[in-house]
Amino acid sequence: MLFTACIAGCASPGQPRPPSLNLPEPVKDLTAERTDNEVRFYWTTPEKTTDRIVVKGMMTARLCRIAAPSATCTPTKNISASPGPTEAVDTIPPDLTTEPATLLTYRVEILNAKGHSAGPSNEVFIASGSAPPPLTNFRAAPTRAGAMLEWQPQPISAARPAQIELDRLSVDASGAVIQPPKLPKTSAKPAPKPASKSRQSRPAQSSPQKSPLAPPSTAVEVKLLTPAAPTDPGGTIDHTAQMGETYHYTAQRVRIVSLAGHTLEIRGAISSPVTVVMRNTFPPHAPSGLEAIPGGTTPTEHSIDLSWAPNFDPDLAGYNVYRQDIDSNGVAAGTAARLNQTPVVGPAYRDQTAVAGRRYAYRVTAVDTAGNESAPSADVQETAREQ
């Protein structure tokens, strides 16, 4: 009777499971970027073992590098690692910072407390060779066309051309730089094969923002790249900078190399930051083409009609019209008086206060939304029609 009850109520122990080797899963999302003579790595350190249980004990991340012609991945650094997003920096040895540039391959292995691993990560590729020089005398100033950015130009080697990448962040009213939100530095899903383009193998937050720009109050990082040129331009204008805003700029030279089918970046050191206040103190362009003709369709109307070429400044608010008396000798008398109370919207104005038979000199200025007034147009003279 007792034997029968045990058969009905006791569970079968099943096949015994072997003890876990406690091997952390291999890293699948290693990325890297080179700046000057340092390589910064990003990856996600696993929290589970190859048999899907939580890793026990401390973990160590071991970076290794393959430099042709060797096929051996030589360890370069060991760091303590915890589950989750991980960063590491490795310095390129001096013998790999000279020309010619060659392909460097990196991997990372996650070791358990006993120094064992389940294998290396995916491969990432970095170019050896000389980094472009840092920007010196970097400065910024507001202009009507945008933020003028200048630096000391450097001779460019035809064999090692470099572009200038400018990084812009907004500054709030207190003078603090508005940092963009931190995006994940590694991908949740591994790529099917190592990325061959440096833009793909860099962390997500370094991708350049595109126009149109977000509102100034939003934390947005904007990157601008100077066009490829045979010489260092020594400066450029950020035409997307908006008046009334304050910006924080840094810059670095970027060299592009192609090695074994991989397009890679070698970035120079980042410049010292500069801040520019986009205060609009720049007057519009002076109007041109001013003409005057006597107006009026009846004997009692003595108006003078004015017209001029339109001004195309983007922040134009309108125009001011000035009039000055001309005496019988053809000499301007007194001072020019403004005829309009508020800016004239279009490139035309009718002076309905002209006195019959009196001669006047007219000039026009342009006014922007910040209240800046342009230089005056050339004068034009006309006499009001007599009765």
Contact 41, 81 (CB under 8 A): no
Contact 273, 247 (CB under 8 A): no
What is the C-alpha to C-alpha distance for residues 374 and 25, in angstroms, rounded to an integer? Answer: 69
Place 263 in a pLDDT band, splitting at 50, 70 and 90.
very high
State both tokens at 67: 């430099």
Segment (H or E) for 257: strand 246-259
Beta carbons within 8 Å of 279's beta carbon, 6+ residues apart: 142, 243, 244
Residue 213 pLDDT > 90: no
What is the C-alpha to C-alpha distance for residues 198 and 324, in angstroms, rounded to an integer? Answer: 66
Q: What is the mean pLDDT of residues 80-96?
A: 96
How far is C-alpha 141 from the geometric centre of its chain's CA atoms? 17
Beta carbons within 8 Å of 136's beta carbon, 6+ residues apart: 151, 152, 271
Residue 190 pLDDT > 60: no
Place 214 in a pLDDT band, splitting at 50, 70 and 90.
very low
Residue range 61-72, pLDDT digits in tens: 999 999 988 889
Residue 279 pLDDT > 70: yes
Residue 132 pLDDT > 70: yes
Q: Closest Cα to residue 267, out of 180, 125, 164, 169?
A: 164
8-17, 95-104, 282-291, 349-358: which range is least confident on average?
8-17
14-28, 89-103, 240-254, 257-271: which range is least confident on average?
14-28
Average pLDDT value over all residues in the chain: 86
State both tokens at 94: 């001096």
Contact 254, 165 (CB under 8 A): yes
Segment (H or E) for 375: none
What is the C-alpha to C-alpha distance for residues 185 and 206, in angstroms, rounded to an integer? Answer: 9
**pLDDT of amino acid 162:** 87
**CA R_g for the chain:** 35
202-206, 290-294, 308-312: which range is least confident on average?
202-206
Quick one: what percent of the chain has pLDDT higher than 70?
A: 84
Q: What is the mean pLDDT of residues 347-363?
A: 95
**pLDDT of amino acid 283:** 94
What is the C-alpha to C-alpha distance for residues 57 and 209, in angstroms, rounded to an integer? Answer: 41
Q: What is the mean pLDDT of residues 336-349?
A: 97
**pLDDT of amino acid 298:** 67
**Measuring CA to CA, how many Å separate 218 from each of 222, 240, 272, 375?**
12, 15, 24, 37
What is the C-alpha to C-alpha distance for residues 30 and 17, in angstroms, rounded to an integer? Answer: 32
Place 194 in a pLDDT band, splitting at 50, 70 and 90.
very low
Residue 124 pLDDT > 70: yes
State both tokens at 324: 């000055």
**pLDDT of amino acid 230:** 78
Cis peptide before 233 (omega within 30 of 0): no
DSSP letter, residue 205? G
**pLDDT of amino acid 203:** 32
Q: What is the mean pLDDT of residues 11-38?
A: 84
Domains of the chain (ranges, CATH numbers): 31-127 (2.60.40.10), 139-256+264-277 (no CATH), 291-383 (2.60.40.10)
What is the C-alpha to C-alpha distance for residues 165 and 387, in angstroms, rounded to an integer? Answer: 69
Q: Closest Cα to residue 255, out of 165, 166, 161?
A: 161
Strand order across the beta sheet in which 139-143 lies = 139-143, 146-150, 235-238
**pLDDT of amino acid 301:** 77
State both tokens at 228: 């490829």
State both tokens at 385: 């029609």
**pLDDT of amino acid 119:** 96
State both tokens at 162: 């470099």
What is the C-alpha to C-alpha distance for residues 387 and 383, in angstroms, rounded to an integer? Answer: 12
134-138, 150-154, 185-189, 274-278: which range is least confident on average?
185-189
Q: What is the mean pLDDT of residues 216-239?
A: 80
